Structure 1
Amino acid sequence: MIIRERQLLQSEIATLEELIHQTPKEDVIDRKSLEARKREVEAALSILNPPYYEPARSQLKFRGKPTVKSQGVYADFAASALDKYAKMIVVLGSDQTNELGSRGIIPDREEFKLMITGTLTGSFGFEIEEAPKERTLLPELSPVKAAMEKANLIMELSAGSSDDEVADAIADTSTRAVEAVRVFLEVMEIYDAVFAIELDGNKSLRFANVEQIKQTRERLKPENIIEGDADLLGKFEGTIPARRLFQFLSETPPEIIIGKIGSEIEDPSKINQFIERPMKIKVHTKQVGNSRPRYTLTRYEVIAE
């Protein structure tokens, strides 16, 4: 099942890369849409679990008031920044496979521990690596790396992309995980620091100034992310079980809704038994700023005809 899903995602990435290559640079909207979808598929691919992997690594670099040229960094800032970065990765990592409440114990937190393996010269910073696991059989793609990439993606898009692109990035991310990202950014703002995060594969994130960090944090505040639940009447028009996607024609108002099938529904393929039949569904909605709502299907039932 996982191998088949990986193949589908890899095939979609190859198709998207070809479409991006064929799309003229002046078609900015089309290119951004394709690139956003490619990032989303790559993130989905990165959390699947085949047999072995290299530990995740990153470089966290700082500039600004807490740093003293390339000599060092103030201890109170470094302790706070590293603590919030580590917590951000733990929460985002656990959020990949668990439903996180607003508080309480974070499941599987031991799986996402980080360690400092060295310091960097130039703009002062740290080399960070995923802590060794006791198990000998591990997934090919590190869940820690997936969490690091997710953190970078959320911050990168929140720094300058459209509300719709940010909404796509956090559509499957819990409120608690988004808050962990915001808290990390808040530390940078409080200490008047600027940072960059470099990951394997030349995937880097870089902020130019503290004002940019502040604006990014503001976009992730709870007041800008509207969530809710809604009951809808209508008919399913189709699903893609392997990608956990559904299409639904709502009656009031008449509207075609495309969304994701939540983890509450164990077997998405069963929905195909009810295509074009009157249904009542419950969806969780998420909207960032002025973006279109993102829908996650959490329950469905047949209406007697």
Structure 2
Amino acid sequence: MNRTEFTHAQAEIGFLDRIAQKPGLSNLARLSLQSRKNQVNAGLRDPGRGAYSPAKAIVTYRGAPVRGVHGIVAEFGSVATAKFSDAVAAVAASISGVLNDFGPIPNKSQNQILITGTALGSFGFEFEEAPSAEAQLPLDGTTAVSQAFELVAELLEASTKSDEELSEPASRLGTRAITMVSEYLDKLIAYEAFCSVSTGSHTFSFSSVDQVRISRSRLSIENISEKNVDFTGQFLGAFPAERRFEFMTQDGMVIHGRISADIEDPAIINAHLNRTFTIKVSARTVGKGRPRYTISNLPW
């Protein structure tokens, strides 16, 4: 049980207590409420409450450097693992909103991953995020590395699909993070290899080196454009947990977009509804897909 689940369990117990105190409840209803309360309490008494469970990913390879399930060329294994680790660290930093276009990857020491075993089926490696002092209490129940594992897998899978499907994960990452994932694919291509990635929520496999080449081209800066756009109108609302907003322009067009990590308290948008503002957003377009909007600065 992570911190978010623990908080929700405590809130549910309080809710059940309030309901049980209401007059007019049948004995069956009271028994049902008490049964649920006992169930939730049992989870809270579990010694593992709040325990940190590190995120995991499995990456296996096929192609020229792989010798069946027996082994993998050491040079390729070393290079591919380093590039995969860099990509995860860059994506984690991008999710946290601290990744710049140049310089060292921020928080890399906090976003380390471990090799915890070899993976068979083809040949590859089992990865696990390295424990850190802060990992016990992630505010939203997941760490940056956990989210990065999932987003890397989602991005790779989407790169084999339509522009619309690729636009969604690509819109959640900075250009440099996408470039780091592309550099990982470059190494696979250089060694005539292709991979499979399995995480907690995603399982994806490239079918060939040619498919990796196509994905690499679709993640190139030539295929992903970004520009700044101004809109004048009114905020319709913000969804802080999802970091999303809705905005209606003066000509009646409703746009949906993401709220970047640069805005610490996205809920503040809901205090400024039905007022006219001019907002500046970035519009990222993948191929022929629709633009995806992100707001990084509020207009007040």
Does 2:207 correspond to 1:195?
Answer: no
Q: Aligned partners of 1:65, 1:129: CA distance in 2, in Å?
A: 26
Listed as ranges, the matches of 1:133-172 within 5 Å are: 133-134=132-133, 137-139=136-138, 140-160=141-161, 162-172=162-172
The alpha-carbon distance between structure 1 residues 120 and 100, as it changes in their structure 2 partners (threshold 3 A), is closer
More deviation, 50-59/141-150 = 50-59
Report the equivalent of 1:62. 61
- 2: CA distance, partners of 1:269 / 1:146: 22
Listed as ranges, the gaps of 5+ residues in structure 2 are 9-48
TM-score, structure 2 as length reference: 0.76
Q: Distance in 2 between matches of 1:136 and 1:212?
A: 36
Greater Cα shift, 293-302 or 209-218: 293-302
Q: How far apart, in 2, do the equivalents of 1:109 and 1:286 lie? A: 26
Deviation, 1:176, is 0.9
Residues 117, 294 of structure 1: alpha-carbon distance in 2 compared, 3 angstrom cutoff: same
Instruction: Give the corresponding residue for 1:179.
Output: 179
Q: CA deviation at 1:256?
A: 2.0
Q: Which has the larger radius of gyration?
A: 2
Q: For residues 260 and 143 of structure 2, what CA distance do their matches in structure 1 show?
A: 23
Distance 1:112 1:285 in 2: 28
Q: CA RMSD in A?
A: 2.5
**Cα distance, 1:134 vs. partner?**
5.0
Counterpart AA for 1:181: V
Which range moves more in the overlay, 237-246 or 99-108? 237-246
Report Cα offsets for 1:90-123 as digits up to 9, x if no partner: 1111222133111112221112212222223452
| % same residue | 33
Letter in 2 for 1:264: D
User: How many pairs are equivalent?
Assistant: 255
1:3 deviates by 4.3
Q: Decide whether aligned partners of structure 1 residues 123 and 231 sit closer, same or farther in structure 2, where only a CA change above 3 A counts.
A: same
Which string of whole-angstrom CA distances, capped at 9 and with x for unpartnered residues, describes residues 15-64 of structure 1?
xxxxxxxxxxxxxxxxxxxxxxxxxxxxxxxxxxx943222222221111
Alpha-carbon deviations, 1:225-269, whole Å to 9, x = none?
A: 111112222222333344332222223x65221212233333333
| TM-score w.r.t. length of structure 1 | 0.75
Sort the Cα spacing of 1:158 and 1:121 in 2 relative to 1 into closer, same or farther, 3 A: closer
2:255 to 253, 257, 261: 257
Aligned 8 A contact 2:234 2:247 in 1: yes
The alpha-carbon deviation at position 275 of structure 1 amounts to 2.7
The answer to whether the 8 Å contact 2:96/2:144 transfers is no
**Residue in structure 2 matched with residue 112 of structure 1 by the alignment:** 111
Q: What amino acid is the match of 1:258?
A: H
Q: Are 1:279 and 1:300, in contact at CA under 8 Å, matched by a contact in 2?
A: no
- Change in CA separation of 1:190 and 1:254 when aligned onto 2, cut-off 3 Å: same
- CA 1:132/1:270 → structure 2, altered by over 3 Å: closer, same or farther? closer
User: Is this contact kept in 2: 1:231–1:282, CA < 8 A?
Assistant: yes
Q: 1:156 to 1:261 in 2, by over 3 A?
A: same
Q: Could you tell me how far apart the structure 1 residues matched to 2:118 and 2:126 are?
A: 6
Q: Hey, what does 2:19 align to over in structure 1? A: none
How far is the alpha carbon of 1:148 from its aligned partner?
A: 0.9
Q: 1:278 to 1:125 in 2, by over 3 A?
A: closer
Deviations 1:129-187 (A, max 9, x none): 22243568343534322211110000011112x21221111212111111111111111
* Structure 1 gap segments, 5+ residues each: 8-49
